[in-house]
A and B are shown apart, each in its own frame.
Chain A
Amino acid sequence: MPVPARITAVRTLTELEKLYTIELPYGLTLDHDPGQFVQVSLFGVGEAPISICSSPSRSNGLFELCVRNVGDLTSKMHALNVGDTLGIRGPFGRGFPMERFRGKDVVFIAGGLGLAPLRSVIYEAIDHREKYNRLVILYGARSPQEMLFRDEVNAFNWMDDVEMFSTVDRGDEKWRGHVGFVNSLLNQVHLNPHNTVAIVCGPPVMYQFIIDDLIRLGVAEHDIWLSFERHMKCGVGKCGHCQINHIYACLDGPSLSYTEIKNLEEAL
């Protein structure tokens, strides 16, 4: 059953995306793993799965959701303001197995809205910086206007122990950075493939390219982690909508390693 949660802040990130800060009632905390999602209810409208975009390490009892306006529910959500109520179920799904990443070079590869789920993992890693070796963030957006969390990306740029690379598919007159798809950044970071885990999130078309490139660079299949988006209704492994062959994206995923899905025709 959804609990009624309150919006405590709304920040407009781009024309299409807004960031919501949400507070659960009755002193509940979400207590999530990075990479998990919640089912957001708009009463009388419906429910949609949204990744938790904030890190458990910075929760304060609140959490954040970054929502792109693409349809029925998400457009109604964009009309909500501070103080409005929405319903929350979750957290659901399997997050990323952070323990397995200990001592590794962690490379985050985000395309477009894919930065939202990864933001939760990135801050978790930054806040436990000593557990990991290199932290590398590769972020590709379609254009400079569509870049999410620009201030935070800037801040990552200034951090000594985080390597931040961004790119856009198409630049504009002001853009001084890299132009090209996000996989083109991979050549710049000189990975040590034997000690690298890659965490990938982006639109469906991006996955095959990135996986091919990572494997070509020598990254092990079980060290490539992906987050999967599917049509989801129940979020708890019953309704059947999210299935990728026998796997339930809502239960076994959304975070899955390449080893787990490489033989599944419906995955990529």
Chain B
Amino acid sequence: MSGTVNELPRVAFFDFTSCEGCQLTVLDALQTHPELLKVVNIVEFREASSARSEDYQIAFIEGSCTRPGDEERLRKIRETAVYVIALGACAHLGGINAIRNRQPLLDVRQYVYGDKAEWYDTYPARAIDQVIQVDAVIPGCPIDRDEFVRVVTVLLQGRQPKLPDYPMCIECKLHENICVYERGQVCLGPITRAGCNAICPAYGYGCEGCRGLVSAPNMESFQEVLAQHGLSQAEIDEKLSLFLTNQTLLEKELVHG
């Protein structure tokens, strides 16, 4: 499969509103899996080089879409790339940036930009697939290095990458972590897509859901669990809005028509 650099699939990385933590994970993957550079030709990667290219087949997009100008850029990428992959929670879910979707926009602007708020044209943070069609997602905040390598491998095979579709608790039990509920805290593990090796519960913190919802979670019963563990409705909404705003808002729209 490896050949001269020019024959390799051309890969580009783009960042939008994000902390660039996911691209750092990609850099890390390049260290641990140097063979990556034998199988793809990275033509644009701001974190690693200043090269710019208009010609690529695979585009990884980090960050969420937060202003009208982003849309234009995204559409351009979509037109050029054969494959578009959302990289990390910001791109996948709107990420941390989507918290503000729960609050009136002007409040957020005022909080972030003070009295210059009116000058900025930001609007509710959107996941990339709310703007352009996305072919695959690598979830997480930040992404999991091994999952990134797996997705690249599968793409090189010409296959559609598939994410684990079971809840975090399954992985968490494998690691025999003590369930954070037993310590009187709450955790979004039961509704969150597995794949990060339940890293937060392993360190004693509840999962915040950065990998997004698993398919068909039982939201109603889960909200009751949170309530039984002492969370008010406002606290539950807050809990579900760190990463899951867009997904749970959509869910609500689905449920309530």
Residue ID in chain B nearest A44 by CB atoms: B157
A43 CA to B159 CA, complexed, in Å: 13
Q: Which chain B residues numbered 135 to 176 have a C-beta less than 8 Å away from chain A?
A: 157-160, 162
Give chain A nearest CB distance to B138 CB in angstroms. Answer: 18
A79 CA to B159 CA, complexed, in Å: 12
List chain B residues, Cβ under 8 A from A72: 159-160, 162
Q: Is A76 an interface residue (CB 8 A)?
A: yes
Digit string of A224-267 for contact with B (CB within 8 Å is 1, else 0)? 00000000000000000000000000000000000000000000
Digit string of A28-54 for contact with B (CB within 8 Å is 1, else 0)? 000000000000000011000000000
A44 CA to B153 CA, complexed, in Å: 10
User: How many residue pairs between the two chains, A and B, have CB atoms under 8 Å in the bound complex?
Assistant: 10
Instruction: Give how many A residues have a beta carbon under 8 Å from the other chain's beta carbons.
Output: 5
Instruction: Give how many B residues have a beta carbon under 8 Å from the other chain's beta carbons.
Output: 5
List chain A residues, Cβ under 8 A from B157: 44-45, 76
Residue ID in chain A nearest B162 by CB atoms: A72
Give chain A nearest CB distance to B27 CB in angstroms. Answer: 27
A45 CA to B162 CA, complexed, in Å: 12
Digit string of A77-90 for contact with B (CB within 8 Å is 1, else 0)? 00100000000000
A45 CA to B158 CA, complexed, in Å: 10
List chain B residues, Cβ under 8 A from A45: 157, 159
List chain B residues, Cβ under 8 A from A44: 157
A145 CA to B158 CA, complexed, in Å: 28
A85 CA to B108 CA, complexed, in Å: 59
A76–B160 touching, CB < 8 Å: no
Most chain A beta-carbon neighbours within 10 Å: one of B158, B159, B160, B162: B159
A46 CA to B46 CA, complexed, in Å: 36
List chain B residues, Cβ under 8 A from A76: 157-159
A89 CA to B181 CA, complexed, in Å: 45
A72 CA to B158 CA, complexed, in Å: 10
A196 CA to B162 CA, complexed, in Å: 46
A19 CA to B171 CA, complexed, in Å: 41
List chain B residues, Cβ under 8 A from A79: 158
List chain A residues, Cβ under 8 A from B162: 72
Give chain B nearest CB distance to A241 CB in angstroms. Answer: 14
Residue ID in chain B nearest A72 by CB atoms: B159
Give chain A nearest CB distance to B150 CB in angstroms. Answer: 12
List chain A residues, Cβ under 8 A from B159: 45, 72, 76
Residue ID in chain B nearest A76 by CB atoms: B159
A45 CA to B156 CA, complexed, in Å: 12
A172 CA to B165 CA, complexed, in Å: 42
Residue ID in chain B nearest A46 by CB atoms: B159
A72 CA to B157 CA, complexed, in Å: 11
Give chain A nearest CB distance to B136 CB in angstroms. Answer: 13
Residue ID in chain B nearest A79 by CB atoms: B158
A76 CA to B157 CA, complexed, in Å: 9
Give chain B nearest CB distance to A112 CB in angstroms. Answer: 24
List chain A residues, Cβ under 8 A from B160: 72
List chain A residues, Cβ under 8 A from B158: 76, 79
A79 CA to B157 CA, complexed, in Å: 12
A133 CA to B238 CA, complexed, in Å: 72
Give chain A nearest CB distance to B8 CB in angstroms. Answer: 19
A72 CA to B159 CA, complexed, in Å: 6
A76 CA to B162 CA, complexed, in Å: 15
Residue ID in chain B nearest A73 by CB atoms: B159
A45 CA to B160 CA, complexed, in Å: 11
A143 CA to B162 CA, complexed, in Å: 32
B interface with A by C-beta (< 8 Å): 157-160, 162
Q: Please list 8 pairs of residues, one from A and one from B, whose beta carbons are closer than 8 Å in the complex, sorted by A's number.
A: A44-B157, A45-B157, A45-B159, A72-B160, A72-B162, A76-B157, A76-B158, A76-B159
A interface with B by C-beta (< 8 Å): 44-45, 72, 76, 79
- In the A-B complex, the 6 residue pairs with the smallest Cβ-Cβ separation, listed nearest first, are A72-B159, A72-B160, A44-B157, A76-B159, A45-B159, A45-B157
